[in-house]
Structure 1
Amino acid sequence: MTFDEVVQQRRSIRGYQKKPVPRALIREVLALAIRAPTSLNTQPWNFYVVTGEVLDRIRQGNVERNLAGVPDSREFRMGPGYEGVHRERQIGIAKQLFSAMGIERENKEKRNEWVLRGFRQFDAPVSIVVTYDRSIQGSDIAPFDCGGVVNAIVNAAWSRGLGCVINSQGIMQSPVVRAEAGIPDDQVIQTCIAMGWPDESFPANAVVSHRKSVDEAATFVGFED
Structure 2
Amino acid sequence: MTFDDVVLGRRSIRGYKPEPVPQSLIEEIIALALRAPSSMNSQPWNFYVVTGEPLERIRQGNTERMLAGVPQSREFRTGNAFTEHHRERQVDVAKQLFAAMGIARDDKEKRQDWVMRGFRQFDAPVCVIVTFDRLLDGSDDAPFDCGAVTNALVNAAWSRGLGTVINSQGIMQSPVVREHAGIAADQVIMKSIALGWPDDSFPANAVVSRRKSVDEAAVFVGFE
Q: Does the alignment pair 1:116 with 2:108? A: no
Cα distance in 1 for partners of 2:171, 2:79 equals: 16
1:167 positional shift: 1.2
Which residue of the partner structure matches residue 13 of structure 1? 13
1:208 positional shift: 0.3
1:185 positional shift: 1.1
1:70 aligned counterpart, secondary structure: coil
Cα distance in 2 for partners of 1:184, 1:137 equals: 15
1:214 positional shift: 0.1
Q: Which amino acid aligns with 1:177?
A: V
Cα distance in 1 for partners of 2:20, 2:157 equals: 14
Cα distance in 2 for partners of 1:48, 1:77 equals: 20
1:180 aligned counterpart, secondary structure: helix
Give TM-score scaled by structure 2 length.
0.99
Q: How does 1:82-97 map to 2 (within 5 A)?
A: 82-97=82-97
Cα distance in 2 for partners of 1:138, 1:208 equals: 34
Q: How does 1:62-77 map to 2 (within 5 A)?
A: 62-77=62-77
Q: Which stretches of structure 1, 4 residues or longer, exceed 6 Å deviation after superposition?
A: none
- Counting aligned pairs with the same residue, the percent is 73
Q: How does 1:33-48 map to 2 (within 5 A)?
A: 33-48=33-48
Which residue of the partner structure matches residue 191 of structure 2? 191
Which residue of the partner structure matches residue 81 of structure 1? 81
Cα distance in 2 for partners of 1:184, 1:25 equals: 24
Unaligned segments of structure 2, at least 5 residues: none
Cα distance in 1 for partners of 2:136, 2:33 equals: 21
RMSD value, Cα: 0.4
Which residue of the partner structure matches residue 60 of structure 1? 60
Q: How does 1:204-219 map to 2 (within 5 A)?
A: 204-219=204-219
Q: Which amino acid aligns with 2:69?
A: G
Cα distance in 2 for partners of 1:155, 1:184 equals: 27
Which residue of the partner structure matches residue 98 of structure 2? 98
Q: Does the alignment pair 1:154 with 2:154? A: yes
Give TM-score scaled by structure 1 length.
0.99
Cα distance in 2 for partners of 1:178, 1:167 equals: 17
2:74 aligned counterpart, secondary structure: coil
Unaligned segments of structure 1, at least 5 residues: none
1:139 aligned counterpart, secondary structure: coil
Cα distance in 1 for partners of 2:164, 2:117 equals: 14
Q: Which amino acid aligns with 1:3?
A: F
Q: Which amino acid aligns with 1:163?
A: G
1:184 positional shift: 1.2
Q: Which amino acid aligns with 1:77?
A: R
Deviations 1:102-144 (A, max 9, x none): 0000000000000111110000000000000000101111011
